[in-house]
Amino acid sequence: MKSKQIRQTFLEFFENKKHQIVPSAPMVIKNDPTLMFTNAGMNQFKEYFLGNSEPKNNRVTDSQKCLRVSGKHNDLEEVGVDTYHHTMFEMLGNWSFGDYFKKEAISWAWELLTEVYNIDKDCLYVTIFEGDKSEHLDRDSEAYDLWKELIAEDRILNGNKADNFWEMGAQGPCGPCSEIHVDIRSNEEKAKVAGASLVNRDHPQVVEIWNLVFIQYNRMANGSLKNLPQQHVDTGMGFERLAMVLQNVQSNYDTDVFTPLIREIETITGHAYGNTVQEDIAIRVIADHVRAVSFSITDGQLPSNNGAGYVIRMILRRAIRYGFTYLNKKEPFIYQLVNTLTKQMGDAFPELKAQKNLIHNVIKEEEASFLRTLENGLALLDAMVESMKNEGSKTLEGKKAFELNDTYGFPKELTRLILNEQGLEMDEKGFASALKKQQDSSREASVTETSDWTVLREDATQEFIGYDRLTAEVRISKYRKVVSKKDGELYQLVFNMTPFYGESGGQTGDKGYLENTSGDTVYIIDTKKENGQTVHLTKNLPKEISDPFKVTVDPNQRARTSSNHTATHLLHQALRKVLGTHVEQKGSMVRSASLRFDFSHFSKVSAEELIEIENFVNARIREQLPLEENRNNTYDQAMEEGAIGLFGEKYGDVVRTIKFGASQELCGGTHVKNTADIWHFKITSESAVASGIRRIEAISSDSVKEFFAEQSKSFEEIKSILKTPTKNPAESIAALQEENTSLKKEIEQLVKAKAGTLKSDLIASAQFINGVNFIAAKTDLDAKSVKELAFDIERDQKNLFLIIGAANGDKATLTVILSKNIVEDKGLDAGKIVRELGKHIQGGGGGQGHFATAGGKNPAGIEEALIAAKRMV
């Protein structure tokens, strides 16, 4: 059975069991501070398990894109080394939100596996939770009784808490689970060793394929368990592992999920899969990682230096390193796999087709950049190895290897490999120590202690009224304390209704305050969205927590933020009009003071185009276009009407559309009532974010007024400095630049004349010592002139040892040049000499054997350096 059919069969099976098929949520998580990426199928349904929202359908099924490379679920180091772990993978799942429970979940799983997919029952084992005395949890006898009606009892195995009690995190919904394992070994192997003894023992052919989680408890902050008001089912089956079983192969990488990519890697690199262990690992790593990076880019997360972007960059660089080290690929090549991936998975995930060119360009640029980093790292490592050899050492210090890795991005494994090839080794303990020190520091800075919610009243749904009102009479539904090193002690408050907009969709959260009739006022410093609810952050709690409160959003901040948000919509429209319809939004940040808009485009936006874009937006502002809002549109209807949606966003069945004239987008943010409220739009910068991604930063409304006022003030100051109140300042500045250029040329001529005179004086001052023409001098020439002078003298002199010390303000430089015959005959090295002499000027330097320079901060030491140089001769 082909992989496409396997996926479709799963979804149709549960559709026939009255489940709604829902699309995969984006792999990159938003509005959940506990996760960067979707690492399990249940992530997009957390708000239902937590009771923050009511699902429209109590039974759903899907194939969810997942990524496991950080946090609790981190499989990265196993990926490629074994044949069944992956970074990005698909999780097939069926879900019940307070509907069916263990009986249906178990019987349907068995029916699908044995009767639809026709997996041999004698290949299957199941596990149940054995209980845990420390938690006062009994053995899951209910699951055991249900399983023994379907499978022989000797194939029902007890599992401990680590394997058979699933938890969302340190706090939250959890419960016992039943895993289904499959044994795909040969009959001969099965006869030698029973499959039951290999379950959960990391055997590559005895693997878990499906986990049935029965969510019935809530883990509290103090570690205790409480029964949830409703029982839920959360299942997850590894699509790639299921394909391995149904396609009768021994590895996930031998399925048609991966073989097209592997064949293409073989063609590009000239290395055949199945030849050597290391080459096979490299090919598997690349085949896996190109999927993870490509899907991440489609979901709006580009490689970068921090957060989720750093993780994606790390994955891609791991693939590049394996290709560089084991497949001898010194040029970008992974980007070429995007076509194959798109053909293979584009039907199931159309975002791959829609953004193929962007994925291609981003990966290619990242490859080229990291390969340059590898070249620089090799040069640094060569210098370290040379130093080691001079010192007679066989071991590279761990902290130096870590510096190569952390500062320069040079992989630890590549450092170790190069050292081993030269009979050297790396201080592994020192590296581990340096890494741990950094990780501990980072972890300490990010640790957050979160208490349990204190529930004051049960509210089925928290209503957002902020599109229409900035004030409201509310009650606090629940609250909790959150402590972190970064923010200190804060409180999170949830109201029964709120006019405060929680940060999402690129728009920052509202600020404001709440007060009661007693005059008790608490300021709301930020508002966030978390797992389907709006959370208000304060530095302290109201004295009377149960009182009714009046809450008020800061109207000035809301107005400025709304102005900037509407401006981003008009900017998006302008970009598509001026640059072309290929432009797509790739991220935005809407604050009260400014806006930032990232978009796909293949080249720098010209000055003329920026003016045209700015004029287009301001024309829409002058047209005084009214807001046309539809809060109850369906996604399909909105698309038919021409609305623009964003890749990487999760849209529900009901969407909100925002329309200003011809601009129409899906958006949940706040907007002005009329474009005239924006007043004016001004672009402040345009730059590159990544290959194929540009960024425009801009301002509107009050910020533009402040900008023009500041520009006017600067203009008047320039006129005052130029002392030309009636003349055009631009003409005066142009005249000054022309005069400056002329003076620079005069100075250059004077310096050359001075250097020419100095050259004659230096040659005349040469001392013949031990067969060497030694020249030493101190000057105030600049570095460029000193270098030209040194090479000019070297061309006219034989057996030359020249050192020139130059003092410029509080900086000092030393320049050493040696005739090439001296370097060869006498074994002298200008680089080593200048490093030693650099100590006199409190600096350092280096260079080649023939020419080297040093810089320092002690001009007074130049004389000592010149004397020391003479002693060397």
Mean of pLDDT values over 620-627:
97
pLDDT of residue 77: 72
What is the distance between the alpha carbons of residues 66 and 91, in angstroms, rounded to a whole number? Answer: 7
What is the distance between the alpha carbons of residues 299 and 307, in angstroms, rounded to a whole number? Answer: 15
Scanning 328-411, the segments in alpha helix (DSSP H) are 338-345, 351-354, 356-391, 398-408
What is the distance between the alpha carbons of residues 117 and 222, in angstroms, rounded to a whole number? Answer: 44
Burial 250-287 (b: 16+ CB within 10 A, else e): ebbbbbebbbbbbebbbebbebebeeeeebbbbbbbbb
Four-CA torsion 408, 412, 414, 416, nearest 10 degrees = 130
Q: How confident is the model at residue 626 (pLDDT cuts 50, 70, 90)?
A: very high
The residues, ordered by sequence, that sit 6+ positions from 30 with a Cβ below 8 Å of its Cβ are 504, 649, 650
pLDDT of residue 495: 95
- What are the Cα distances from residue 425, in Å, to 77, 375, 385, 429, 862? 22, 20, 10, 12, 40
pTM for the model? 0.75
Mean of pLDDT values over 485-506:
92
Phi, psi of 61 (to 5 degrees): -145, 150
pLDDT of residue 276: 94
Mean of pLDDT values over 759-765:
84
Which of 635, 629, 637 shows the shortest CA–CA distance to 671?
629
3-class SS of residue 787 = helix
- Highest-pLDDT range among 304-313, 542-551, 565-574, 630-639: 565-574
pLDDT of residue 814: 93
Burial 440-479 (b: 16+ CB within 10 A, else e): eeeeeeeeeebbbbeeeeebeebebebeeebebebebbbb
pLDDT of residue 73: 47
What is the distance between the alpha carbons of residues 455 and 450, in angstroms, rounded to a whole number? Answer: 15
pLDDT of residue 445: 65
DSSP-derived letter for residue 203 is B
Higher pLDDT: 202 or 608? It is 608
Query: If you average pLDDT over every residue of the chain, what do you get?
Result: 90
Phi, psi of 175 (to 5 degrees): 170, 170
Q: How confident is the model at residue 740 (pLDDT cuts 50, 70, 90)?
A: confident
- What are the Cα distances from residue 841, in Å, to 771, 786, 848? 28, 17, 20
Beta strands in 720-799 (DSSP E): 767-769, 772-779
With a cut of 90, say whether residue 17 has pLDDT above it.
Answer: yes
Pairing, β 497-498 against β 463-464: parallel
With a cut of 70, say whether residue 482 has pLDDT above it.
Answer: yes
Pairing, β 549-553 against β 512-515: antiparallel
Which of 456, 540, 543, 549 shows the shortest CA–CA distance to 499?
549
The residues, ordered by sequence, that sit 6+ positions from 236 with a Cβ below 8 Å of its Cβ are 40, 41, 42, 91, 92, 93, 210, 211, 213
Cβ proximity of 173 and 228 under 8 Å? yes
Which of 120, 135, 130 shows the shortest CA–CA distance to 246?
120
Lowest mean pLDDT among 251-265, 389-403, 433-447: 433-447
Report the alpha-carbon angle 478-522-467, nearest 5: 70
Lowest mean pLDDT among 157-161, 309-313, 438-442, 546-550: 438-442
Q: Please, which residues bridge with residue 304 across strands?
A: none
With a cut of 70, say whether residue 421 has pLDDT above it.
Answer: yes
With a cut of 70, say whether residue 264 has pLDDT above it.
Answer: yes
What is the distance between the alpha carbons of residues 719 and 699, in angstroms, rounded to a whole number? Answer: 26
Beta strands in 765-799 (DSSP E): 767-769, 772-779
Q: Is 214 left (phi over 0), alpha (psi -120 to 50) or beta?
A: beta
Q: How confident is the model at residue 804 (pLDDT cuts 50, 70, 90)?
A: very high
3-class SS of residue 128 = strand
Tell me what percent of the chain is helix, strand and coil, each rounded to the nearest 5.
45, 25, 30
Looking at the chain, the whole-number percentage of residues with pLDDT higher than 90 is 59
- What are the Cα distances from residue 59, in Å, to 66, 97, 209, 238, 757? 21, 7, 21, 20, 91
Query: Long-range CB contacts (< 8 A, 24+ apart) of 540-545?
Result: 540/491, 541/479, 541/491, 542/476, 542/514, 542/516, 543/518, 544/516, 544/518, 544/520, 545/456, 545/476, 545/479
The residues, ordered by sequence, that sit 6+ positions from 666 with a Cβ below 8 Å of its Cβ are 635, 638, 643, 644, 645, 646, 649, 651, 655, 656, 657, 658
What is the distance between the alpha carbons of residues 392 and 384, in angstroms, rounded to a whole number? Answer: 12
pLDDT of residue 726: 63
Which of 734, 736, 611, 741 shows the shortest CA–CA distance to 683?
611
Higher pLDDT: 550 or 300? It is 550
Mean of pLDDT values over 360-386:
89
What is the distance between the alpha carbons of residues 826 and 829, in angstroms, rounded to a whole number? Answer: 9
Helix axes 830-837, 862-872, angle to 10 degrees: 140
pLDDT of residue 503: 94
Q: What's the full length of the chain, in residues?
A: 873
Radius of gyration of the chain (CA): 34
* 766-797 confidence digits (pLDDT tens): 888 888 899 998 988 888 888 888 888 888 88
- Asked whether the CA dihedral 91, 96, 101, 106 is positive or negative, the reply is negative
Which of 613, 623, 622, 606 shows the shortest CA–CA distance to 575?
613
Q: How many Cβ atoms from other residues are within 10 Å of residue 435's Cβ?
A: 16
* 809-863 confidence digits (pLDDT tens): 889 999 999 998 888 888 788 888 988 999 999 988 888 888 999 999 999 999 9
DSSP-derived letter for residue 202 is T
Helix axes 398-408, 412-421, angle to 10 degrees: 130
Q: Please, which residues bridge with residue 400 across strands?
A: none
Give the CB-side neighbour count of residue 779, counting CA atoms within 13 A: 25
With a cut of 80, say whether residue 724 has pLDDT above it.
Answer: no
- Token digits for 695? 């960024």
Scanning 233-276, the segments in alpha helix (DSSP H) are 239-246, 259-269
pLDDT of residue 284: 96
* 548-601 confidence digits (pLDDT tens): 999 999 999 999 999 999 999 999 999 999 999 989 898 899 999 999 999 999
What is the distance between the alpha carbons of residues 236 and 42, in angstroms, rounded to a whole number? Answer: 8
What is the distance between the alpha carbons of residues 175 and 865, in angstroms, rounded to a whole number? Answer: 74
What is the distance between the alpha carbons of residues 746 and 740, in angstroms, rounded to a whole number? Answer: 10
What is the distance between the alpha carbons of residues 220 and 700, in angstroms, rounded to a whole number? Answer: 46
- What are the Cα distances from residue 475, in Å, to 53, 459, 509, 520, 524? 18, 10, 20, 14, 15
pLDDT of residue 466: 96
